Amino acid sequence: MDTPIQTEIDNEPLVDETSVKYLGRWNRLVSTTNWEKGRIICQWREDMISADAPPDDYTDQAWSHRAGSVSPQHVGRLRRVFQRFGETFDQYAGLYWSHFQAAMDWPDAEMWLEGAVQSGWAVSQMRHQRWEAMGAPADKTPLPEDVIEAEQDEDVEPAGDEYKPDDIPPETISGSLGEIRDDADADERPPCDDEHSAEPFRPFEDLPALPPDLADAFEAMKLAILQQKLSGWREISLPEVLSVLDSLKQLAQNV
């Protein structure tokens, strides 16, 4: 007779297979919800700034107090992820909000997000790939708790009666994304508009479709260059890599 533990082990493949499609639907729902929440927070802040409201009135803490069902820390995450990727996230098909949250502070985020799209990496795989490319430093080991997909922000005891979501009229959460600033430097950071926003680094955006053999070689070379770059060009210098790429260019032009 099978023990309860043995029965549980035997059922694991069936449970995983049955659950995976529902987990995918759940994660897509969480992702969509987080992007919309980030958009609302950013638009609210813009309208508060346009109305010359005091900076303390549009901090992450202020929105948390008004909404009453989300922590200031998660408000900050939602806001910063939308500030960084709100205009481009839909260009990375198949990625969840948590991919972008994990890459939010990476200077080369777009490269690794594109790698996640091309290679089908989960969040943990994307983080591990980048960590290995950096030389696997012990002090930067990816930890699961560093990535937060969502917080339990429903069914939470609301904040005090002095602030309610209904106090914010609908027109205060409309308009384009404007000035988005961290609480700590609310007076120093310039507006997040077209004039001041950094242009995303997407060198492969306009490339033509490649045949399978070239596509595979291109992906392998791209990831190899990333690994060398993040390791500080320890095994080969940047000029040497550029020389190799130039020789391929000459090969294509002269064969």
Spatial neighbors of 9 by CB under 8 A, at least 6 apart, are none
Give the tens place of pLDDT for each residue, 84-112: 999 999 999 999 999 999 999 999 999 99
What is the mean predicted confidence (pLDDT) over 73-85?
95
Q: Which has the higher per-residue pLDDT, 226 or 166?
A: 226
Asked if the model's pLDDT at residue 55 lies above 90, the reply is yes
pLDDT by residue (tens digit) across 115-128?
A: 999 899 999 999 99
pLDDT value for 96: 93
Q: What is the pLDDT at residue 136? A: 84
Residue-level pLDDT at 12: 64
The answer to whether 82 touches 38, Cβ cutoff 8 Å, is: yes
For the segment 163-185, the average pLDDT, to the nearest whole number, is 37
pLDDT at 203: 63
Q: Band of the pLDDT at 65, cuts 50, 70, 90?
A: very high
Greater pLDDT, 97 or 146: 97
Arithmetic mean of pLDDT over the chain: 75
pLDDT at 98: 93
First to last CA, the chain: 71
Least confident of 50-64, 146-160, 216-230, 237-251: 146-160
Round to whole Å and give the CA distance between 30 and 193. Answer: 27
**How far apart are the C-alpha atoms of 76 and 84, rounded to whole Å?**
12
